[in-house]
Structure 1
Amino acid sequence: MCLLAAWLLISALHGRALAEPSSLAIKAEEPVVISGATSLTVHSAIVGRDFVVEVTAPRTPPILPGQTAPVIYVLDGGYDLAGPAGWLLGAAGTMAPAYIVTVGYPAGASARGVDLLSGPATSPDGMVAKGGGADAFRRFLVEELKPFMEARYPVDGERSALFGHSLSGVFAANVLAGHPSDFVSYLIASPSVWADPGIVERLRTVQIKAPPRRVFLGYGANEEPYMIDGARQVAQALSGVDGIVLRTEAFEGEQHISYYPALPNAAFPFLLPRDNLMRRPDPVELPAGQFKRYLGVYELTDHRRISITQDENGLVFKVEGRDEAGLLAEAVDRFFIRGVDASVVFDSDGSEAKEMRISVNGATARAVRAQ
């Protein structure tokens, strides 16, 4: 049977299946929103148009006074994959818990062919890009979006990464070449060197100031030869640059876009490694009567309050303005939260606890009993 005939047969059968009566009734139909992400439509005065920015917070966001988290800025909207991937990798302890900020366009208003290149270009397979907006787009990211994020969320601007693929990959390479201090690490995936061949020489001569820049370069091993050649040229140029910590990976059996889902797992832990190993203690049983000494309200140095209560499962920990979490004992006066890098140590000395020391993602703070 030819492919067209098979497709027609499948379509006909599918149509008959859909036409069969069913007792199932649709109550609502809405677009799927990524769980835990916030979508913002922002207007750039520099570029002169709107962008859709989606922010995915880490599973254990900063809660302690002065605590911040790194951030990855992902172009092309992250194909709706980068945010959930970063959330999972941070939760699993394989990378530093980080905010994932994807940058895209409102529906039907994509201008990536303008924003990602400095000038016009035509690909070997006939794709035309107008270009001309790369400098303004870089300024939008650095002068508008980054300060906005740092004011609105507890993100560390000194630990920010830029992630671009294809046209946005060569854009990220150009930011590294011309303004390497804009970000501390770069994920350059399948860079479209055909659109800007001069990028290779600019990368070869880039001057890196401390600290070193981590760069992950990825591409599909089964991409078009001109794409593979461009990625290898970029890798060769960067390999001789002082101050660049480079990792290159050709994803075997994969084409231009098919390896994208594997990119975060390979690159994010390299770009943003954890400062400490995630603790995974085993719980122990404590006498139920001992919990009474911990109950009460404690105050952090920024005057936010933490309540310690008890339910049928044990102690419950709640920071003002955050969701509550159960505490599991690992020793007398020492507790942890399952599945996250968080621990609580009470200073009780066998009597009512006077304060506690809280550790979250490697940062530590004290809270003193308020009542």
Structure 2
Amino acid sequence: MINKERNMIKKLLIFCSILFTFHFMVFAQTENVKPLTIGEIRTIKSKVLNEDRILNIYLPQSFDKTKSYPIIYLLDGSINEDFIHVTGLVQFFNQMYSMPETIVVGVANIDRKRDFTFHTDLKDLQKDYPTTGHSDQFIGFLEKELKPYIESQFKSTDTYIFGQSLGGLLATEILLKKPELFNNYFIISPSLWWDDESLLKQAPQLLAKSKDIRKFVYVSVGKGEHPVMVKDAENLYDLLKKSNKKNWTVEYKMMETDNHATILHRSLYEGLVKLFPYQEPKI
């Protein structure tokens, strides 16, 4: 009986020792877990929009608040939209191409149909997009609140706007109506069909009023997109070229293997290559 008790105690001690060792190993592994941080999430209170807006901000790995950086304003900039893959693309260009370290400000969406479209009297669009028609307010938010806030937090050398689809429509509207807001425009698959192509129809008159100040404009569309999308993107490019702005660099890219769903990442890559060619890595 005594031997049985001794064996049981011995087994219990061995079990406790194993359990303690396991817990120690788990604790030690947990101690090695740290958050992976690539930037910040901030909330800005907008009086123009009468709501809070979330900003996802990518900061370069060697970010120094005393230095100045180019800043990309990314429409559709939610975590579950385009923020992560676009920041990855920017980081890749920082490493392998001549692109300087750059800050990305992803503007998270609340209602992109409301924010990225201007007013229309077309009944079918009003029915399909019941909240539509408030891009003027969103542009006011960018101009009067977001950009001043970001520039009060980070020193800027150059500004970009990236927009696709309805975001491309908004980027085009800003280029034509408020061109001074950004230096570089990446307009991908713009929904210029909106309001019976009224923005395209106004483009010549709007461009005539624009100052001939340095600007880079990149327009692209996928060959697999709706024919109207392709035609409108080509027309936008033609109108920009015909405006004869000597200090505007205007580029156009037909993405041969892409459609509306797949175009953004590859197209941004092609556009950035035009600005920042490949450079041999330093040894």
Q: State the TM-score, normalized to the length of structure 2.
A: 0.76
Q: Would you tell me which structure has more strand in proportion to its own residues?
A: 1
Report the AA paired with residue 241 of structure 2.
S
How much does 1:280 deviate? 4.5
Q: Does the CA-based 8 Å contact 1:55-1:83 persist in structure 2?
A: no
Q: Does the CA-based 8 Å contact 1:175-1:182 persist in structure 2?
A: yes
How much does 1:43 deviate? 2.1
How much does 1:145 deviate? 0.9
1:186-197 → structure 2 map (5 Å cutoff): 186-196=185-195, 197=197
CA RMSD between the two structures: 2.8
How much does 1:57 deviate? 1.5
Report the AA paired with residue 248 of structure 1.
Y
Report the AA paired with residue 92 of structure 1.
M
Offset from partner CA, 1:273-305 (integer Å, 9 cap, x none): 48xx968544xxxxxxxxxxxxxxxxxxxxxxx
Q: Which runs of 5+ in 1 are unaligned?
A: 1-27, 283-371
> Residues 185 and 202 of structure 1: is their aligned pair in 2 closer, same or farther, counting only changes over 3 Å?
farther
- Tell me the equivalent position of 1:98: 102
Cα distance in 1 between the residues matched to 2:184 and 2:123: 29
Q: Which runs of 5+ in 2 are unaligned?
A: 1-29
| Aligned partner (choices 68, 71, 82) of residue 79 of structure 1 | 82
How much does 1:35 deviate? 4.2
- Tell me the equivalent position of 2:153: 152
Cα distance in 1 between the residues matched to 2:282 and 2:254: 37
Report the AA paired with residue 135 of structure 2.
A
> Residues 114 and 264 of structure 1: is their aligned pair in 2 closer, same or farther, counting only changes over 3 Å?
same
The structure 1 segments of at least 4 consecutive aligned residues displaced by more than 4 Å after TM superposition are: 121-124, 277-281
- Tell me the equivalent position of 1:52: 54
1:1-371 → structure 2 map (5 Å cutoff): 35-62=37-64, 67-77=67-77, 79-80=82-83, 81-105=85-109, 110-120=110-120, 127-128=128-129, 130-156=131-157, 159-196=158-195, 197-205=197-205, 206=207, 207-243=209-245, 244-270=248-274, 273=276, 280-282=281-283
Report the AA paired with residue 255 of structure 1.
N
Cα distance in 2 between the residues matched to 1:56 and 1:88: 13
Offset from partner CA, 1:145-200 (integer Å, 9 cap, x none): 111111112223xx101111111101110101011111111011111111141211
Cα distance in 2 between the residues matched to 1:35 and 1:259: 28
Offset from partner CA, 1:70-116 (integer Å, 9 cap, x none): 111010116232122112212323323211111113xxxx3111111
- For structure 1, which segment, 139-148 or 84-93, has the greater mean C-alpha deviation from structure 2 after superposition? 84-93
- For structure 1, which segment, 242-251 or 163-172, has the greater mean C-alpha deviation from structure 2 after superposition? 242-251
Q: Does the CA-based 8 Å contact 1:216-1:270 persist in structure 2?
A: no
Offset from partner CA, 1:320-348 (integer Å, 9 cap, x none): xxxxxxxxxxxxxxxxxxxxxxxxxxxxx
Report the AA paired with residue 84 of structure 1.
G
Q: Does the CA-based 8 Å contact 2:171-2:187 persist in structure 1?
A: yes
- For structure 1, which segment, 192-201 or 180-189, has the greater mean C-alpha deviation from structure 2 after superposition? 192-201
Cα distance in 2 between the residues matched to 1:153 and 1:52: 17
Offset from partner CA, 1:4-53 (integer Å, 9 cap, x none): xxxxxxxxxxxxxxxxxxxxxxxx9xxxx984121122221111122221
Q: Does the CA-based 8 Å contact 2:176-2:210 persist in structure 1?
A: no
How much does 1:250 deviate? 1.1
Q: Would you tell me which structure has more helix in proportion to its own residues?
A: 2
* Larger relative contact order (CA 8 Å, sep ≥ 6): 2
Cα distance in 1 between the residues matched to 2:76 and 2:211: 28
SS of aligned partner of 1:73 = strand
Q: Does the CA-based 8 Å contact 1:36-1:56 persist in structure 2?
A: yes
> Residues 226 and 61 of structure 1: is their aligned pair in 2 closer, same or farther, counting only changes over 3 Å?
same
Report the AA paired with residue 190 of structure 1.
S
Cα distance in 2 between the residues matched to 1:204 and 1:94: 34
Aligned length: 241
Q: State the TM-score, normalized to the length of structure 1.
A: 0.59
